[in-house]
Structures are given as structure tokens and as C-alpha cells.
Structure 1
Amino acid sequence: MATPRYTEASIRVLKGLEPVRQRPGMYTRTENPLHIVQEVIDNAADEALAGYGKQILVTLHVDGSVSVEDDGRGIPVGLHPEEQVPVVEIVFTRLHAGGKFDKAAGGAYAFSGGLHGVGVSVTNALATRMEVTVWREGGAHRLVFRNGDVAEPLVALESVARKKTGTRVQVWPDAKYFDSPAIPLSELTHLLRSKAVLLPGVKVALRNEKTGDSKTWQYADGLRGYLAEALAGAELMIPFFEGEQYADADHETFAEGEGAQWAVAWTEDGNVTRESYVNLIPTPAGGTHESGLREGLFGAVKSFAELHGLLPKGVKLLPEDVFARASFVLSAKVLDPQFQGQIKERLNSRDAVRLVGGFCKGALDLWLNSHVEYGKKLAELAIRQAQARARSAQKVEKRKSSGVAVLPGKLTDCESSDAARTEVFLVEGDSAGGSAKMGRDKEFQAILPLRGKVLNSWEVERDRLFANNEIHDISVAIGVDPHGPDDTPDLSGLRYGRICILSDADVDGSHIQVLLLTLFYRHFPKLVEAGNIYVARPPLFRLDVPAAGKRPPRKLYCLDDEELNAAQDKLRKEGVRDGAWSISRFKGLGEMNPEQLWDTTLNPDTRRLLPVAYGSLSPTQTLAMFDMLMGKGESAQRRAWIEEKGNLAELDI
């Protein structure tokens, strides 16, 4: 068989919406079409958020299509000044085109969550048909797409009253891109109800033509009414703590309009309700805005307890003690939100921690000191949680104390022994290990420096593993012995809930990652299955931005070239002149001082930490892949694979 050639002709350039159809999972959830419909709903909600819409109607049609209609301003239908194509056509056919990128003062959608970016064009790409009707400036206009391409060009229909404005999008999702073509009604209902909560006074309706059912939501009390409904029947420890605060034009750090609105309740028992949103986008996986709320609540309660002398001797309050029994609904407004992944489940914007935390702490400080009795009840609840946590940790320590191997001398351990919150970083090199030791939170973070590259353990027998000092130290430090996929190892001795691989963001660092992942997959598979293994992602670049106007000097960290370009584009849009900032490239972790390492890589609120899990390959296929990549006698097969797949690699040479 001839070896496949890797030539200039091997490179394909995907144009238009083709990348979405090639890799739909990169752009949306593929379990069902709910997320591509949500992109259209988000656009309608953005109009309401901007103050121009009062109604959103979603209809499930008998033929399987879904329509979303709003009474906003209507998408512009004139020609784009540069592209000379109707703007409404660009919105649905071009990735990264839309109103949300206009961030200047008075921009159309400064606080958009979903408007005309990747989202709605993805909806078009994964639909067999899409019909768009726009009412604007006294006229009705219609545009039809088929399989992402224009099927019927934009045409003007009948004249309408000038006060009749809005957009209606009807989409027929293409079933071949989804595991199930059915939209889960409960999830859609929850999504629409939450939009009504976050947009007080806006009427949101769902109509199901198949069943004849219809529902309408409109909340006058906003977040508080929603949380009270969710906690119906639960006994509150103290009344709702609610508030909102947004930066004004004179704020030193944040842009005008950035801030948050929240409603928080504490209950003694029962389930807690927690929902968060960024610019009306639901973030079920939380993120930095939730971290800010947690830190703000904790800071205020801790200050109150210390001020009133409520803390018993030996009790140390932690954020989770205040947060454990808290239910909340949080709605943050962030000028340029950075999400984890296109489906926007988790907010990654570092500034959101200080944004939400600062506003929330100040408001709760005032509230607690104005309602001292409620403050004491809340402090007592947190203290009880802290005491229960301490008792639990002591029980674990007693169970583990007998027969523990002597811990490695180079392990810098943490103070806590509660595996639910402790973590160990396997750090490349002694230099980075020293910075990590000084920069970590010694309460729950341990550091184990590794010297050089770990042994390729793919073909090493289990009883020979401990001959290697690094592998011996890793096993003893984490408290779990090597085992096979069919074994049932004793995980009760696991000393850290998170085992984090921390290496340089270069080729050697990637090699060390691969060797450690090979070790865990081959000889500690139950830790991978249980979700205990993580890979830390340190940044490659730092941007030093000088003071501008009332904004102090800033340092921005970027994971890779793509983030660096995006950060520079954002600075230009903020009015910072080209060349005013300087770019530094980290050659390795050892170049970072302890504060930088904490901010970028160790701080749970702002770091990038990827969980390691099994992918879409079957166990047999995964084994075959590791054999080919890591087996000593597989160099010929590896070479052929590299020749075939080499164009997919992103190299940093």
C-alpha cells in the first residue's frame, strides 16, 4: 500500500459555513437542536436587554420547525457599506459577523450575549431550511435559506405600520447533525422562563401547535420572585439578600454598565437552587462570576463575624462554609465576556471575579450591619458548617494514619487533609516548583516537583514501576497504588481530590504531559475514570497595558496566539493605540514569579484547568491508539500516522 503523500494539495481551506457542518460539535451541542434554537432566542433577548423589545414568542410547529418572533427593531436589511450584501444575509451566513462586536460607547449591543456572532450562523448551517422575516421602517422583508445557502434572496413584501417592527426566524433543524431531532420541552421551558426572570416586564411565551398548549411568563419581581418560587416550602434562615450594582462612567476599573444583579437565600436543609447568567446567557457550569459572588459573600460574613467577635477559637472560616447552604440567582453584565467553548456553559473572564465580588461584598457589608440579628444568624450557620467540616477532616485523618508510606521529601504538602478540596500539582522542574510553592494556597494546594521527563511507562510491568523514583514519588504522594482497568484498587487512601499536571506551554511541556497521561491511563485508570486527573494550562503571553484615562495599568494573560490576537483587538476597540502595550512571551513556568503563577495557573477562580476524561473512542480503539503512539516497536506505524495526520497538528517550534 502506497504511503499517503503530504503535499500542498493536502491543505483544505473551509469557507463560509462549511467548518460548522464538518465539525458541528465544536460550535454547538449535538445531542438535540435546542442550542441552535437558543441562539435565535438569545438574539431576541438581546433586543429586549437593549430596551427595544417587550415580547418574545416561541412556537413549536407541527412540521418539526421552530419559530422565534420578537418586537425589537428588526435586523437591518440595507446593504453593508463594505460587503455590499444585505446585512440580514451576512448575519446568517458569515461566522463572526454581527452587532455584538460594536463595543464603542453607544454601540448597538454593548452587553450582548448572543447577537450575530458565531451562533445564529451555526443555526443556519445546521438547518435544512430557514425563513427570516423582518419588519422595519414601514416595510416587511423576507429571506429564505436552504442548507445554509440563500435559496430566495431578500425581497420586500407589503408595507406595514411604522410602529410594527421586529424579526421572525423559523428554522427546520437538520436531523442528521443531532443524536435526537426532538427538542427537550422541559429544558426549553426552563430557558424561556429564565429569560422572563432576567428581563422584568418582558412577556415570554411558548406555543406548541402539536398539543395546543401555550404558556406565558412575565415576572414583575424579577430574580427574587423566581428564587422564591424555586424555594417554595423551604424555611429561610434570614430574609432574601438581593441587590444590583453597575459601574458608572467614572469607575476606575470597569466599563460603564458592567455589574451584576443578585438574589441570595440561605436555608438550613433541603436542596439548594443555583442559577447564573451572563448577559442573559445561562451558565450552568458557573464560572468566574459565581466565584466572585462566593468571594463577596464570604468576605462580608467573615468581616462581620470578626467585627462582632463571633468566631470560636480554632475555627477558620472558608468560602464554602458561607456558600454551602446558599441558593442564588445571579445575572452579570460583562462588556466582553470570555466563555469556555462556543456553547458558553462557563464564564472565564478573570475580571468578573473582582467585578461581582466587589459589588456584592460592599452591598452585603451594609446589609449585615443594618440587620445585626440576621447577620449573627448567618455567621452562626457558617461557623456550624466550618465545625462540621473540621470534624469530617479529623475522621479521615485517623483512618489514614496507620500504615502510610513515608511521603517523598520533595513533596510540599498542604495543611488540609480533606480530599474533597485538596489538590496536588505535578510540576515540571525545580525552578517552577519553587515559584509554585511560594505562590500556592498552602491550605489546600500541594506541590510535587518532577526532575526531567518521566519514564514512558506504557510497556513497563507494574512490579517494576517503583524502580523509577519519579513514579514511586507520585504513587506515594497521591496515596494510591498502581492498578489495572479490571482491578478494584483501594481509593480510600487518596490524598488529593485533584491531581494536576503542570508543565511549560511548549513542546517539551507537551511531551511531559503525554508521558504523565500515559502513566495515569495505563497504571492508574480508576483515577481517570473518577475524574481526579487534570491538566493545567498556563498562559504563553502577557500583555502589559499602560494606564489610559481613569483605567490603571493592566496585565492581560493569553493562552495562545488566538487569545493574544483577540486581546489586542479588544484593546484597539477600547481606544488604546497600537504599540502602546508590550507583549512578553513566557519561555517556561520558571520565568513566572509566584504572584503571576497564582493569578494565571493556581487560583481556582481564574486558572484554566482541563479535566481528563475518556473521549469518543471505544476502550479497544483507545488502547490501539496508545500502542501506536507510545509502543517502542511501533515507529513505522507512528511515522505513517504522522504523515497522514501531520497537517492537523498545531506546532509551537
Structure 2
Amino acid sequence: MADKPNSTNSAGTAYAEGSIRVLKGLEPVKQRPGMYTRTDNPLHIVQEVLDNAADEALAGYGKKIKVTLHDDGSVAIEDDGRGIPHGIHPEEGAPVLELVFTRLHAGGKFDKGKGGAYSFSGGLHGVGVSVTNALSTRLEVSSHRDGQLARLVFAGGDVVESLSRRPLEPGERKQGTTVRAWPDPKYFESAALPMGELVQLLRSKAVLMPGVSVTLVNEKTKESQTWQYKGGLRDYLLQTLVGEPVIPLFEGEGHADAGHESFAEGEGAAWAVAFTEEGAPVRESYVNLIPTPSGGTHDSGLRDGLFQAVKGFIELHALLPKGVKLMPEDVFARASYVLSAKVLDPQFQGQIKEKLNSRDALRLVSGYVRPALELWLNQHVDYGKKLAELAIKAAQSRQRAGQKVEKKKGSGVAVLPGKLTDCESRDLAHNELFLVEGDSAGGSAKMGRDKETQAVLPLRGKVLNTWEVERDRLFANTEIHDIAVAIGVDPHGPLDAPDLSGLRYGKVCILSDADVDGSHIQVLLLTLFFRHFPKLIEAGNVYVARPPLFRVDVPARGKKPATKAYALDEGELSAILDKAAKEGVARDKCQISRFKGLGEMNAEQLWDTTLNPDTRRLLPVQLGGLSFADTEDVITQLMGKGEAAARRELMELHGDEVEIDV
């Protein structure tokens, strides 16, 4: 019987088993470096090595870190930590030193809990130094450990000089690691390291590890600089501040002890906060020594703690003038701070760890900051009153700005839809409208929301597919009429210049169930905004809220009380179960419930998971990699009435990539 020919497409290229490429080892990093690191310059791949050296110091094994910029464009990082183990890995049969630099998910940081090498570390994506190796033309590593010096050399991620070991000579350092890398310019927009950022990074490591010295040597300029801060965060903040502090610095720290009911031993934060009347505020936050330039839940915890304490003080002393409403921003507006949080299992947004996403970090930091500041304010009442004055002044100017806008647009406004539950504030920077699927979820959202800044508009049933509806026929549909009137902007096209001065909310958030129907409603609303309100998407006003799919009830264990956790998807669910397992709770003891829809959540759950700005997941809606016209073509294929054939072709082509939730 003749062999069956390969199926070929119209271009005649064969598509068979051999066409499927499996990316091995470090290939995925080389193919798509932007998924693993920042590609504007090589600083981030140097930082991966630096973080490892800092983790050794954080674990108490090193006192010195030295970074050398060599004449030939390479960067060397040297530490006096324990040295990377260079024996053979029991399961993999290869030297551990080699695995650390050639496997994406290898490292001591996954081994948490008793006897793990690192309790607190910043690296937890498991990509780490293997990415540095993949994106370097050459990388040399030497490890001083167990009386031996082990050395290994790579080129483009592959071993070119296999592991060599020799006994340490008298006078040589007994322990530590040196990594020297030559970043490959073809992966980066600029091959040069940004000196300002590098200096800032090294200085911050010294700040966060009082007593550890960090040195930078530049061979080209023959310059060398060493940072060592005995006074930690306080010294650093005072040196960096622009304006004069209105009151003395508020500093403190708090960490959980072994018997803490909610947090692991050692979790907590240290902070220094200064309030100034002028000058740009200095705001720096770190998690396990990793800088988080985009902030995250630990920053939110500091903000929450400061706000609650100041608000409590103002109420206690009856300082708030009539008609003034205090908001977190009013207290935070003039605050400069350095915050260093320690979190056992940090969850970051994105591979490059710029923003902390761990929900518990908010409670963790706030729980230590608030009581400390309350005590401090009540011990120094005069300073407390100065701080209260600063916050009240900020609240008054914010409210004045909000009223001006209101007067301008007060005349001739269409009557707001009856089912809209509006918010009290008129401040665009804080106002949010939630378009909620279904009346029952709408009810929970109304009860659970923040009345000051969050408005709710419940939608009944499926919204109209407006892709091919003419603009002047849109208002025939009640739902769409109500959405447009509530937002305060008229429908428009991509080339129009609509009047956005009537916009009533800074954020318009689509909130639908995490199931297939919910996704359909989301798509219909996104279609409406892209087709008839494109300027709102362009200005970054449209968002999609992501409610969790699962709730996990973890029973009480020892002194720790029972807890509830929420997971966005299967991945987060298994992370929660893994964490529980590490704390000694078997998987079958954890009760997992799946939310069929938002209507099943009570007001408090909905606030915790989906509405609270500090703990929710809110995705901004933006154009992806395609231009406006290309995006339009894709949506026409998906939403156009006469496009059934094109949709079918798309499904046949990509059907097997989709996980269907039946």
C-alpha cells in the first residue's frame, strides 16, 4: 500500500509531525527575549546575577558584593556568599552549577520551608541567571566552595569549557561566586548599561542591607565607588529628599514571629516615611531586596496604614472641617518613603518583577504600619496636628477642583438612567463605573462598592452586537443608551474629535462572570467601545475586571485560623494549594468551590476580590501589537454578520489552542 502523502496547503508546503518545533533548553529565551527580560538594555540580565549575590547576603552568608565593568564590555559580579554548589545533581546527573545556568526552572528558591536554602528571596520566576546566560555571547562562572575552585564557561547559553575543579591555594578566598558575562548586543536595543540606573540599583542594595558593602569598579574610567549604610533606610531617605520634612521622619519595622496566626515567621516590613510640602516625592519600594518601580500591594499596604492612622487621629481630635471628606490620596500626596517588605512567596506581575501582586502583602504591611503610626502620632500630638493640616489642605484643594468641573458641565445634562447607582465624588482621577452583568451581581456590587468613588450600572441579558449598527440607530437600544448617558460621552468614530469634557468616570470597568457567557458579554461590550467610543480606549479609560474563578477554604492549622483564598484561574489555584501543603494542610482537606457567576458572591467577597483597588485585578484595554485598521479587520472577522466562513476558518486553524470551558 502506497504511503499516504502529507496534506499540503495551497502554497504547497508540507505540514506534518516534523513541522512541529519543540523549543529546548534556552531556545525560548533567544526566540522571545522580551517575554523573559527587559530588552531596552542589558541591565536586567545583570540584575539577575546581582539579586543572587544579594540573596546570599540577605540569608546572612555574605558581607561584600563587587561589580566590575570591564574594558571589553563584560560585567563581573563577585560575592563572598556560600558559592554555588558544583557537585552532581542526584536526579539530573549533571553538575548543579551547570543546571543553574542552563535550565529555566532550576534554583534554590523553589525549595521553601524548613531547611530550604532561601526563605526570603526575590527570584521566584525560576528564569533567573539562565536568562543572563542565554542572552550573553560568553559567560564564565567560578565558585569557591568546599575547599575547591570550580570553573565553567558558556557561549550563547551552551557549555564550551566543561566543569574543572582544583584545590584552593593558600590565601585564596574560601567561599563565594564570581560570574562574568558578555551581554550579546543583538538582543538589546542598546548594548550600553544605563549608569544612572545601575548606580541607583547598587546603592539601594546597600541601603536595604545595613552593614553590607557594595562596590562598583569601572575599568574604563578607572573609578570606583563603595556604598555602605550603617543607618539603613533613614540615612538613605534623608540623603535623597528634595524638600524639608514638615515633621520628623516616621520610621519603624515589624516582622511576624513563629507563632503569628496569619503570616510566616520573618514576613513583615521596614519603612521610613517623610512628609514634605514641596519638591517631588521620593518613593522607593522593595520586596526581598528586589526593586519594584511600579509599586504594588506592599505600597498599597503602606498607603492604607498611613491613611487609617491619620484618619483615626483626625477623628479622635475632631480636626476635620465640615463638608471635607478625607481620602487616602490626601494623606499620601506629600509622602516620600522607602519601604522594604519581606514576603515568603512573592507573586509579581510580569516576568521582570516590577510590581508586587501578592494580595496578603497589603494586610501584612498595613498591619504593622498603622498601629506604629497611631502610637507615634498620639505620643507627638503637635506633629500629628501638622500632618493632619497637610492632609486636610490636600483634601480641600481636591474637592475644589472637582466642583469646578461640575459647574462647567451642569447645564443641559441628559437625565441619568434610573438603574445607575452613582458615586458621590466628581473627581475623574478616582471615579469608576462598573458595568455589571445581571441584576443579582449588580445588587452585590451596589452593597459592596465604595460609595464615594464607585458607581454601578447593572445590564440585563446580552448586550446588542453593535459592530454593524449605524451610530444614529444606537440609542434605539435601551442598554446602550443608558451606558452612553452614564459615561457622559456621545458615540463617535476613530477620526472624530468627540467632546470628552462630559466624561463622568476616569475608569469604565466591564465586570462579567468568569465563564463563557461572561466572556461573550465582555466581547460585546469591548466591540461597542472599540466601534463607537474609540477615544475612550485611546485615552485609557476602559478596563476589564477579572473576578476569581475559585474560592479555597483552608482549614485551621495549629495556631493559624482558617483562611479563605481566591484564585483567578487553575494556575493560581494550584499555587494556593501548594502553599497550604507547605504549611501542612493536605489538598483533600482544602475545600475548593468554583463560582458559577458573580451573583454567587456576597457583597464582601465581591469587594475583596474584584472591587477593592488594592487587591483586585483590573486589566487596561489597549490596542495590542496590531494597528487600529488591522484590529478592525480582526474584529470584523469575529463580529461581522456576513463573516461566518472566515470565523469557521479561524476556528479550524486555532481551535486546538483554546481551552473550552463547557
TM-score, scaled relative to structure 1: 0.96
1:307-386 equivalence runs, <5 A? 307-386=316-395
Verify the 8 A CA contact 2:137 2:184 in the aligned structure 1: yes
- d(CA) in 1 for partners of 2:480, 2:15: 38
- Any idea what SS the aligned residue of 2:502 has? coil
1:496 to 499, 502, 505: 505
Verify the 8 A CA contact 2:125 2:351 in the aligned structure 1: no
Identity of aligned residues (%): 73
2:650 to 628, 632, 641: 641
- d(CA) in 1 for partners of 2:458, 2:34: 37
1:16-95 equivalence runs, <5 A? 16-95=25-104
Instruction: Report what 2:222 is aligned to.
Output: 212
For 1:204-242, what per-residue CA distance to the aligned partner results, in whole angstroms no more than 9, with x for missing partners? Answer: 12222233333221112211111112114x121101101
Instruction: Report what 1:598 is aligned to.
Output: 607
Equivalent position amino acid for 1:517 in 2: L
- Unmatched 5+ stretches in structure 1: none
- d(CA) in 2 for partners of 1:93, 1:164: 25
Instruction: Report what 2:621 is aligned to.
Output: 612
Equivalent position amino acid for 1:422 in 2: N
- CA 1:9/1:596 → structure 2, altered by over 3 Å: closer, same or farther? farther
For 1:24-70, what per-residue CA distance to the aligned partner results, in whole angstroms no more than 9, with x for missing partners? Answer: 22222222222121111111111111111111112222332222111
Verify the 8 A CA contact 1:128 1:147 in the aligned structure 2: yes
TM-score, scaled relative to structure 2: 0.95
Instruction: Report what 2:660 is aligned to.
Output: 651
- CA 1:652/1:116 → structure 2, altered by over 3 Å: closer, same or farther? closer
- CA 1:650/1:394 → structure 2, altered by over 3 Å: closer, same or farther? same
Say whether residues 1:262 and 2:271 are aligned partners: yes
Q: Please, which moves more after superposition, 451-460 or 37-46?
A: 451-460
Instruction: Report what 2:189 is aligned to.
Output: 179
Say whether residues 1:415 and 2:415 are aligned partners: no
Equivalent position amino acid for 1:177 in 2: Y
- CA 1:500/1:8 → structure 2, altered by over 3 Å: closer, same or farther? farther
Higher relative contact order (CA 8 A, sep 6+): 1
Verify the 8 A CA contact 1:439 1:594 in the aligned structure 2: yes
Instruction: Report what 1:121 is aligned to.
Output: 130
What is the CA RMSD across the aligned residues, in angstroms? 1.9
- d(CA) in 1 for partners of 2:74, 2:601: 53
- d(CA) in 2 for partners of 1:160, 1:594: 68
Q: Shift of residue 7 of structure 1?
A: 7.8
Q: Shift of residue 629 of structure 1?
A: 2.5
Instruction: Report what 1:547 is aligned to.
Output: 556
1:418-497 equivalence runs, <5 A? 418-497=427-506
- d(CA) in 1 for partners of 2:653, 2:27: 22
Say whether residues 1:2 and 2:21 are aligned partners: no
- CA 1:213/1:614 → structure 2, altered by over 3 Å: closer, same or farther? farther
Instruction: Report what 2:213 is aligned to.
Output: 203
2:253 to 235, 239, 244: 244
Instruction: Report what 2:3 is aligned to.
Output: none
Say whether residues 1:231 and 2:241 are aligned partners: yes
Q: Please, which moves more after superposition, 572-581 or 432-441?
A: 572-581
Equivalent position amino acid for 1:246 in 2: H
Q: Shift of residue 106 of structure 1?
A: 4.3
Q: Shift of residue 176 of structure 1?
A: 2.9
- Any idea what SS the aligned residue of 1:579 has? helix
- CA 1:580/1:300 → structure 2, altered by over 3 Å: closer, same or farther? same
Say whether residues 1:522 and 2:511 are aligned partners: no
Q: Shift of residue 563 of structure 1?
A: 1.1
Instruction: Report what 1:303 is aligned to.
Output: 312
Verify the 8 A CA contact 1:17 1:148 in the aligned structure 2: yes
Q: Shift of residue 293 of structure 1?
A: 0.5
Q: Shift of residue 13 of structure 1?
A: 4.2
Instruction: Report what 1:531 is aligned to.
Output: 540
For 1:537-574, what per-residue CA distance to the aligned partner results, in whole angstroms no more than 9, with x for missing partners? Answer: 11111111000011110111111111111221222122
Q: Shift of residue 116 of structure 1?
A: 8.2
- Any idea what SS the aligned residue of 2:498 has? coil
- d(CA) in 1 for partners of 2:84, 2:655: 43
Say whether residues 1:391 and 2:400 are aligned partners: yes
Verify the 8 A CA contact 2:136 2:184 in the aligned structure 1: yes
- d(CA) in 1 for partners of 2:652, 2:10: 12
